[in-house]
Amino acid sequence: MNRMLNDDLQLLNGNHAVAWGVRLAGPDVAPVYPITPQTPILEKLIAFQAEGKFDCDLLTPESEHSAMAAAVAASATGARVFTATSSQGLMLMHELLHYASGARMPIVMFNVNRTPAAPWGFWPDQTDSLSQRDTGWVQLYSEHPQESLDTVVQAFRIAEACELPVMVNHDAFYVSHAVEPVSVPEAKAVRDFLPRRERSLWLDTGIGRSIGAPAGQEAWHASRREMDAAMARVEDLTREAGRLWGEATGRAYDVLEAYRMEGAQLAFVTMGSMAGTAREAVDALREAGLAAGMVRLRLFRPLPAAALRAALADIPVALVLDRNFSPGMGGIVHQELAAALYGHDGPRLYGFLAGVGGINVPVERLVALAREYRDAAPTHAPIWLE
Amino acid sequence: MLEIVILGRGGQGAQTAGNQLARALFDEGLFVQVFATYGGARRGTPVASSLRADTRPIRLRSDITRADALLCFDESLLNEAFLRRGREGALVLVNSAREAADFTVADRRIVPLDGRAIARRNDMGKVVNSALLGGFAAALGQPALESICAVIEQTAPAKVAQNLAACREAHALVAGQLEEMA
């Protein structure tokens, strides 16, 4: 059976889908520096502006560091701010990522996951954003272009509700450059979903006030306690945003997604585009009589630890597929999941470095992996997939 | 699921051809996914476009390693590594002035098409993608010529009539060749 030809789908690549989401969310300021494979986001925003469809101060400063500095400054005035980057660009922003979260700026940033140099590369790999996990940014990971559009809009709602910056990520090429049918929501639906809310603190030339000025130990300590409290709200805010988005568009989201987990004897755990391939592996395994399932982590920071424990409570074996690498330790999702499960009953965990550097991970490889590891000896050591 | 890989050199239009082919299949009611992969994209370096089309939404996010059909924009790129991305019996349409018999490749169905000659005849200079698309659609049996032409009409940046003429000529040429062989 073919697709309904009267549906509202249009063909967009992942990056253009993001640009559509940003256009609908209507930021006031967007400082962006181009970098492969993020550039099509910026190009599309510029095209929207040239058509008179995107009323935004689109700044193109001389580096990502300056882009984030401009984003922080603009956000401090109470503006809705968007930026986008990838890999080296994200890492050049590093010190200002801490600044943005410490100053409680609800900036939304889209990051296209790409291998960090050296060697130079352009391949899908999440080490760039995962190595920013302690900077105080909320992190979400998208599987496909439609989700990237939907999530960037939801990110503004989450950021502005908790006054923390939110980074949404999708994989280079497999999502960023994948042209697929995407449904673009009505502008009014997005406006209703994303009302403007007054900030608790902003800079105004008419008011004597400063943000981020030197603080004593007590005040600095208090700032982190407040961030902690804000982070504690993010999981519920993400669920709420996902539920309301579902009501508005028919596409609901949660902090994680359980795929065919009913009665599963083995689960893949992964993030981003790998989940699509894992779905096919789960279906193939079920067809062949092995009850497999998948848990896809959508919200990575804050880590929804209790939800992960609940999703994996009765599963004997979990295979974590990490398209990232922390040298000396292994896969980052594997470490995080092991920490979340520590002291609780949970599955026997295996951590796979799967697709690091963007190498291909086909369905058959995942099917073979499930068969090989369902009864294997336990190990905490990371396992490289060739 | 139909899986296709298009390979060309940066600037030849392989990525555009992949997008146009995907749009034509999409317009015929299929779900599609098409993505390009390249390194530092420079004019002349290899650029691949990978295309999937199916009657249900496409979830796979991996490389295509057993394509049903390959389209090669540049004969110099037609090597073992590229041919291995096609499954056994895969259709391989290659932009070449040589005859099918000149290619000694086992287990692949090679269809040469002189895209450059067709482009020249239709005042397209060295721009071969509309010709190759027409020929490829004929060899593949889908999408319909009119679907491809509709997309070219919407997306060709210039010389629309010439692009359409090149596409139609190539389609007729390959369809005729296949009829002869049958």
Q: What is the per-residue pLDDT for B40?
A: 60
Residue A345 has pLDDT above 60, yes or no: yes
Average pLDDT over residues B11-39: 91
CA distances from A135 to A89, A167, A274 (A): 15, 11, 25
Spatial separation of the C-alpha atoms in residues A184 and A178, rounded to whole Å: 16
Average pLDDT over residues A280-299: 98
Tell whether B61 lies on the interface with A, counting CB pairs under 8 A: yes
Q: What is the per-residue pLDDT for A4?
A: 65
Mutate to test the interface with B, among A141, A171, A174, A182 (most CBs of B within 10 A): A174
Dihedral sign from CA coordinates of A225, A230, A233, A234? negative
Q: What is the per-residue pLDDT for B37?
A: 75
Residue B107 dihedral angles phi and psi, to the nearest 5°:
65, 20
Tell whether B37 lies on the interface with A, counting CB pairs under 8 A: yes
Residue A118 has pLDDT above 70, yes or no: yes
What is the residue extent of each domain of chain A?
A: 9-197+212-249, 256-384
Tell whether A276 lies on the interface with B, counting CB pairs under 8 A: yes
Q: What is the per-residue pLDDT for B38?
A: 66
Distance from CA of B99 to the nearest CA of A (A): 35
Q: Which residues of B touch A279 (CB under 8 A)?
A: 59
What's the CATH fold of domain A256-384? Answer: Rossmann fold (3.40.50)
Residue of chain A whose alpha carbon sits nearest to that of B53: A180
Spatial separation of the C-alpha atoms in residues A165 and A139, rounded to whole Å: 9
Do residues A242 and B27 touch, judged by C-beta distance below 8 A?
A: no
What's the CATH fold of domain A9-197+212-249? Answer: Rossmann fold (3.40.50)
Residue that has been written with the tokens 């306690």 in this structure: A225
Model confidence pLDDT, tens digit, residues B85-118: 999 999 999 999 999 889 888 899 999 999 999 9
Q: Which pair of structure tokens corresponds to residue A324?
A: 């990232």
Q: In terms of DSSP H, where are the helices of chain A?
A: 14-25, 39-50, 64-76, 87-92, 94-102, 127-130, 145-162, 187-193, 217-249, 274-287, 305-311, 332-341, 363-373
Average pLDDT over residues A4-28: 91
Find all residues with CB under 8 Å of A82, minimum gap 6, and list them: A22, A25, A27, A29, A30, A32, A56, A107, A108, A109, A110
Strand-pair partners of B48: B7, B37
List, as one string, the DSSP characters of A231-300: HHHHHHHHHHHHHHHHHHHS----SEEEES-TT-SEEEEE-TTHHHHHHHHHHHHHHTT--EEEEEE-EE
Average pLDDT over residues A113-139: 97
Residue A6 has pLDDT above 70, yes or no: no
Residue A1 has pLDDT above 60, yes or no: no
Q: Which residues of A touch B62 (CB under 8 A)?
A: 174, 277, 360-363
Q: Which pair of structure tokens corresponds to residue A244?
A: 């309301």
Q: In terms of DSSP H, where are the helices of A103-216?
A: 127-130, 145-162, 187-193
Spatial separation of the C-alpha atoms in residues B150 and A192, rounded to whole Å: 37
Q: Which residues of B touch A180 (CB under 8 A)?
A: 31-33, 58
Q: What is the per-residue pLDDT for A5?
A: 64
Q: What is the per-residue pLDDT for B172?
A: 97
Number of inter-chain CB pairs under 8 A, A vs B: 77
Model confidence pLDDT, tens digit, residues A197-207: 999 889 998 98
Spatial separation of the C-alpha atoms in residues A185 and B170, rounded to whole Å: 40
Distance from CA of B119 to the nearest CA of A (A): 27
Q: Which pair of structure tokens corresponds to residue A271?
A: 């993030």
Q: What is the per-residue pLDDT for A66?
A: 98
Residue A243: HSE in the Cβ half-sphere, 13 Å Cα cutoff: 6
Strands B31-37 and A178-183: antiparallel
Reported confidence tier of residue B181, pLDDT bands at 50, 70, 90: confident
Spatial separation of the C-alpha atoms in residues A230 and A137, rounded to whole Å: 11
The sheet with strand B86-95 has its strands ordered as A9-13, A178-183, B31-37, B46-54, B2-9, B67-72, B86-95, B108-113
**Please, what are the domains in chain B?**
2-181 (3.40.920.10)
Is A319 strand, coil or helix? strand
Reported confidence tier of residue A2, pLDDT bands at 50, 70, 90: low
Tell whether A360 lies on the interface with B, counting CB pairs under 8 A: yes
Reported confidence tier of residue B39, pLDDT bands at 50, 70, 90: low
Model confidence pLDDT, tens digit, residues B57-92: 999 999 999 999 999 999 999 999 999 999 999 999
Find all residues with CB under 8 Å of B175, minimum gap 6, and list them: B138
Mutate to test the interface with B, among A1, A4, A8, A11 (most CBs of B within 10 A): A11
Do residues A94 and A118 touch, judged by C-beta distance below 8 A?
A: no
ipTM of the complex: 0.91
Average pLDDT over residues A167-189: 96
Residue of chain B whose alpha carbon sits nearest to that of A179: B34
Q: Which pair of structure tokens corresponds to residue A37?
A: 């494979």
- Percentage of chain B exceeding pLDDT 90: 81
Q: Do A181 and B36 touch (CB under 8 A)?
A: no
Q: Which residues of B touch A284 (CB under 8 A)?
A: none
Strands A9-13 and A178-183: antiparallel
Residue of chain A whose alpha carbon sits nearest to that of B54: A2
- Percentage of chain B exceeding pLDDT 70: 97
Tell whether B59 lies on the interface with A, counting CB pairs under 8 A: yes
The sheet with strand A299-301 has its strands ordered as A82-86, A108-113, A166-171, A138-141, A299-301
Distance from CA of A35 to the nearest CA of B (A): 11
- pLDDT, greater one: B145 or B10: B145
Instruction: Average the pLDDT over each of A306-315, B14-23, B30-39 and give the range with the smallest value.
Output: B30-39
Measure the CA angle with vertex B115, ends B111 and B121; round to 5°.
135
Q: Do B29 and A5 touch (CB under 8 A)?
A: yes
Reported confidence tier of residue A377, pLDDT bands at 50, 70, 90: very high
Of B22, B29, B62, the CB nearest to A11: B22
Strands B2-9 and B46-54: antiparallel
Residue A144: HSE in the Cβ half-sphere, 13 Å Cα cutoff: 21
Residue A3 has pLDDT above 90, yes or no: no
Residue B34 has pLDDT above 80, yes or no: yes
Reported confidence tier of residue B43, pLDDT bands at 50, 70, 90: low
Q: What is the per-residue pLDDT for B42?
A: 64
